Structure 1
């Protein structure tokens, strides 16, 4: 029987004057009951469908995520925003959909809003997982060759450019580029730049010691964007933290070393052991609709 992805319910959430395209993957009960829902903050420029492979592997709980303004299917931002606004928007999305206590996972750029959410919403946050991320503006920077290619969204627009520079960018082998690009939708230039600017001057140094949630920090030893020293800094900051460094992994280990990463997260959550389902990287139907939206937006602003 061919693999069938667990497709999310996708809809728009209204946060003030801004619409945010939102996705909820419904977890399956494997005899242990539904687990705590997982709030997922994605990386810079990454549309919500990129989380599909992770959602197909990490199947025991509801997963909630959303596109940042100007990313994926969300309209361009109407104003500059900061991590506190992203955390506030996430809380409204959760409460509007009946979620009042969650585990929180942040990847790369999303690690900043994840930490901000855990601080702003202490009672709502059970546990915190930080993948390939840093304390923000106070991070130890990565390889200049990789960082220079992060300044624009070209890697999302030109797939040949991404494949050619995949290992330089992320530290992961180029053979894994297809897993990343299969559900990739280019962000708008405005959306990407606003997202990049949202973290300017922000640091978790003043708040980390006051975050009560138990925290798992996972880093890749070959990450060219966020060197693993940043994970060690976070581990020193968080009172109740555990650090795991995946040997030989690059920045995208949540995709390229998915089973190993999921095992670490399940162990941290004290979930019972169970087989990890095999998931194929297949394009989900909502990607085509997102491309239509992105093209319409580009024509409207031409």
Structure 2
């Protein structure tokens, strides 16, 4: 995997580029993660595909956004990245929040992929009892208090807020507002607009983005198929790498 750099809207964007095939697979990582999360998948795909793993702004070696970003902003910068590299046609693999970005981008036309793979995709908000509760959890994870909370529940809310976007991670101070904007977004209505062939992969033991998310998206995306990987958690491609790679290859070929 070769690390490369480009400039998108005055932001430095780094990415990993592997393989020389014409068929391109663009990979979008989750919140608090980086392009390196896909290195094993990439190695197994480069015989048949060129893999491009972007470090989304704010993560990896890419510059942080200079304002508060949401899913729309991320999908737009990915669209500009694709145009800059001239990598069409392409398929997309999105993990966790990267999956939510892909759903939003494909639905609004920013991302025009030939096939879509969503691995443990996030973006379902209604499992919580209202927006206010989610905001409190997100704020607590970001170390921002929006309302008094009982001391006994603080740690539970912090952990649950991290799980909302599928990543047990530290929220950098200058990314807190972006974190809150993304964690309270919902892409279920976007999913109904997706017509491209879609593969959904979820781990049976994933507590961050449970299988119920996959079932919801599968019911809303017309041309979709859900695969549940037994004994796998949120990073399903680390728990069951061979099985996940086989599912991806069978779907893309």
TM-score range, shorter chain: 0.7 to 0.9
Divergent runs of 4+, >6 A? none
**TM-score, reference length from structure 1:** 0.65
- Corresponding residue number in structure 1 for 2:151: none
- Corresponding residue number in structure 2 for 1:151: 141
Deviation at 1:14, TM superposition (A): 2.3
**Would you say how many aligned residue pairs link Structure 1 and Structure 2?**
221
Change (3 A) 1:9 1:26: farther
Unaligned stretches of 5+ residues in structure 2: 130-136, 144-161, 164-168
RMSD, aligned CA: 2.8
5 Å-filtered alignment, 1:225-244, equals 225-244=208-227
- Corresponding residue number in structure 2 for 1:287: none
Contact 1:40 1:65 in 2 (8 A): yes
CA separation in 2, counterparts of 1:239 and 1:82?
25
5 Å-filtered alignment, 1:213-252, equals 213-252=196-235
Deviation at 1:66, TM superposition (A): 2.0
- Corresponding residue number in structure 2 for 1:137: 125
Unaligned stretches of 5+ residues in structure 1: 1-6, 28-33, 142-146, 154-168, 171-185, 272-302
Change (3 A) 1:116 1:249: same
Deviation at 1:19, TM superposition (A): 2.3
Change (3 A) 1:189 1:132: same
Q: Does 1:210 align with 2:210?
A: no
Contact 2:13 2:57 in 1 (8 A): yes
Deviation at 1:126, TM superposition (A): 0.6
- Corresponding residue number in structure 2 for 1:91: 79
Q: RCO higher in 1 or 2 (8 Å CA, sep ≥ 6)?
A: 1
**TM-score, reference length from structure 2:** 0.77
Deviation at 1:92, TM superposition (A): 1.2
Alignment counterpart, residue 52 of structure 1, candidates 12, 35, 39: 39
- Corresponding residue number in structure 2 for 1:127: 115
Alignment counterpart, residue 2 of structure 2, candidates 4, 8, 11: 8
Contact 2:102 2:111 in 1 (8 A): no
CA separation in 2, counterparts of 1:122 and 1:213?
13
> How big is each residue's C-alpha offset from its partner over 1:176-212, in whole Å with a ceiling of 9 and x where there is no partner?
xxxxxxxxxx977136535523414322222222211
